[in-house]
Amino acid sequence: MTEKWTPSKEQSQGVVTRSVDFLLDELNELQDELDCPDEYIFSLLGAIRDRWSPASCHAKMRELKKAKPEVF
pLDDT, tens only, 12-58: 999 999 999 999 999 999 999 999 999 999 999 999 999 889 889 98
- Whether the per-residue pLDDT at 10 is higher than 90: the answer is yes
Whether residue 1 lies inside any domain: the answer is: no
Whether residue 4 lies inside any domain: the answer is: no
Q: At CA 62, angle to CA 21 and CA 24, rounded to 5?
A: 10
Looking at the structure of the chain, the number of domains it has is: 1
Distances (CA, A) of 28 to 4, 21, 35, 70: 31, 11, 10, 40
The size of the chain, in residues, is 72
- Whether the per-residue pLDDT at 1 is higher than 60: the answer is no
Whether residue 30 lies inside any domain: the answer is: yes
Whether residue 17 lies inside any domain: the answer is: yes
Whether residue 38 lies inside any domain: the answer is: yes
Whether residue 6 lies inside any domain: the answer is: no
Per-residue pLDDT, 59: 87
pTM of the model: 0.75
Whether residue 65 lies inside any domain: the answer is: yes
Distance, CA of 40 to chain centre:
17
Give the domain range for residue 62.
Answer: 11-71
Ramachandran sector of residue 44 (left: φ over 0; alpha: ψ -120 to 50; beta: rest): alpha
Whether residue 40 lies inside any domain: the answer is: yes
